[in-house]
Amino acid sequence: MSSTTPSCVRTGAPRGSAAPAGPDTLLARVVARLRELTGADAGWVVRVDEAAGTWALDAADGPGLPPGGVVAEVVRTGGAAVVAGAPGTRSVLAVPVHRGPRLVGVCVVASAAPRVAFAAPDRGLAELVAEYAALALADHGSLSGRGLVEALRQELAWVEGAGVRADLVAVGQPALDGPVADEVFRVVQEALANVVAHAGARHVQVGVLPGPGTLTVLVEDDGRGFDAAAHGGLHVAASGSRQGLAAMAARARRLDGELEIDSAPECGTVLRLTVPCGPEPAVPGRTRPSVLVAAARPVVRAGVVRLLQLGAPELGMVSEVDGPEDLAATCRLLGPDVLVVEPDVLAPDGDLAGALDRVAALPAPPAVVLLAPSCPGDRLRTAVTAGVKGCVGPDAGDRLVAVVAAAGRGETAFAADQLGLLAAAPVRARGVTEREREVRGLVAQGLTDRQIASSLRISAKTVEKHVGSLLRKTGARNRTMLVALHGL
């Protein structure tokens, strides 16, 4: 069947395709009823993906294809379109299919020429059928061949088009079966539609944190929030019907997962979905993951070890080391599954990236959890890039236990505020000049002062002054730290 391309879709260059559903699908029954009620000679239901800028024919009853120009007009305006039949042409009626604030499809009917334009009662009937079409489209073809991260990125483009700043933080690539990815996407899609329709938010961020055994997805907004307890766990969803959280929770149950909602009036909302996504990897010769705690102060080491022994009995041996001198040798000797380490013990020279590279080069590299009360954005980006599983303070109690236990399972666990740091644009160091940025860029390429001087046609002494100025302004201790900084 040939494809038809609408003339305008507001989210980008559209691609139309014809892929009618089989005769036994709900969509097929919907379009047959649409044609029957309006007395049309042909009817169609077209699925619209605003984020991807595409539309595709999902169900047809009758000959031919829906006129692309009429479909494009409905997508462009968000309202119904009626075209009276001229000699040799058909009369056409097209109505939008909405799910909350989102346009998800178009219902189209056409009559045999000659006939006057469809009347107001026909439009009312078509709009009634469109409500059922919305339900059918909601469970049909969400990813359409896209990967989960790609689909979420396009979904956030739609959110930004609705006036809400949107960020995506994806740590690694989730390995999900198609049906699981589809269900996860629908939960996030429903949550984002809720943000746009009801939250009054200025900013929303989505985090995707995959692990060998689970996938965790967070949706956090700064909107007005709601009293989840007072609603009995039920909130009005973007669809306008009282489904919302109940529908998302049902999807989570189908995936054998968990859905957590943290919200309060005027405090925004955080949604966390955790689903299994494959068997946990077996480690030959071990039944329980072992942990090595590396901290400079004995009281910190003892406190962390005690917390882990009491709070995570599934962990095996928990050992400790006090300084960087013994760290590498202890890792080689004990071969821990998880290394819980203070950044200053791991990288006393401040070169966190280099230290993490050395850990990764060990014969049996452990999963790393940084033990720090706070983790600045640049350090956090460096850690995530190197595969660190989490960053948590030694007095964080249950959260410390949860992060280390997750790392023992091969999972990544970052808090919502840490995802915010990852999503935020890096802040430039104050007072750094364009010339200094040029010098820093050439330092990052591994050039010597003499080579930089030759490239910029300045003296080597001037290069040294620029590097010294950069170190003072950024707080970097050496050139390696300077190169690792983001946002200069």
Beta-bridged to residue 103, according to DSSP, are: 98
Mean pLDDT of the chain: 76
Q: For tokens 């260059």, what's the residue?
A: 13
Q: Same domain for 20 and 130?
A: yes
Report if residue 283 sits inside a domain. no
Strands (DSSP E) contained in 245-337 are 258-263, 269-276, 291-294, 318-321
Report if residue 282 sits inside a domain. no
Q: How many CB atoms lie within 10 A of CB 141?
A: 14
**pLDDT score of 96:** 92
Between the alpha carbon of residue 409 and those of residues 15, 148, 257, 361, the distances in Å are: 42, 23, 16, 20
Domain boundary (103, 138, 173) is at 138
Q: For tokens 């720090």, what's the residue?
A: 372
**pLDDT score of 94:** 92
Report if residue 2 sits inside a domain. no
Q: What's the whole-model pTM score?
A: 0.46
Q: 97 — phi, psi (to 5°)?
A: -115, 115
Tally of domains in the chain: 4
Q: Same domain for 418 and 471?
A: no
Report if residue 179 sits inside a domain. yes
Domain boundary (138, 167, 190) is at 138
Task: Give the DSSP H or E segment for 17.
Answer: strand 15-18
Question: Which CATH number characterizes residue 470's domain?
Answer: 1.10.10.10
Report if residue 7 sits inside a domain. no
Q: Same domain for 439 and 412?
A: no
Question: Which residue segment(s) compose the domain that 89 sits in?
Answer: 15-138
Q: Same domain for 80 and 30?
A: yes
- At residue 290, the 3 state secondary structure works out as coil
Question: Which CATH number characterizes residue 335's domain?
Answer: 3.40.50.2300
pLDDT tens profile 17-30: 334 444 346 778 88
Q: Same domain for 419 and 331?
A: yes
Q: How far apart are CA 271 and CA 87, in angstroms?
A: 56
**pLDDT score of 88:** 63
Nearest in space to 40 (alpha carbons), one of 107, 89, 92: 92
Report if residue 10 sits inside a domain. no
Q: Same domain for 34 and 86?
A: yes
Report if residue 405 sits inside a domain. yes
Q: How many CB atoms lie within 10 A of CB 31?
A: 28
Higher pLDDT, 438 or 240: 438
Give the residue ranges of DSSP H helices in 102-234.
120-138, 148-161, 178-194
Q: How far apart are CA 392 and CA 486, in angstroms?
A: 22
Q: Same domain for 258 and 317?
A: no
Cis peptide before 101 (omega within 30 of 0): no
Q: What is the DSSP string of 200-257?
A: --SEEEEEEEE-SSEEEEEEEE-S----TTTTTT----TTSSS-THHHHHHHHHHTT-
- 108 pLDDT more than 90: yes
Structure tokens at 232: 């009995």
Higher pLDDT, 317 or 209: 209
Q: Same domain for 393 and 332?
A: yes
Mean pLDDT in residue range 460-483:
77
379: left (phi over 0), alpha (psi -120 to 50) or beta: alpha
Q: Same domain for 326 and 231?
A: no
Q: Same domain for 296 and 417?
A: yes
Q: Same domain for 339 and 410?
A: yes
Q: How far apart are CA 248 and CA 274, in angstroms?
A: 12
Report if residue 1 sits inside a domain. no
Question: Which CATH number characterizes residue 165's domain?
Answer: 3.30.565.10
Beta carbons of 11 and 161 less than 8 angstroms apart: yes
Of how many residues is the chain composed?
488
**pLDDT score of 384:** 80
pLDDT tens profile 386-399: 788 888 888 888 88
Q: How far apart are CA 108 and CA 115, in angstroms?
A: 16
Domain boundary (138, 157, 178) is at 138
Q: Same domain for 348 and 373?
A: yes
Beta carbons of 184 and 215 less than 8 angstroms apart: yes
- At residue 452, the 3 state secondary structure works out as helix
pLDDT tens profile 159-174: 887 789 998 887 666 7
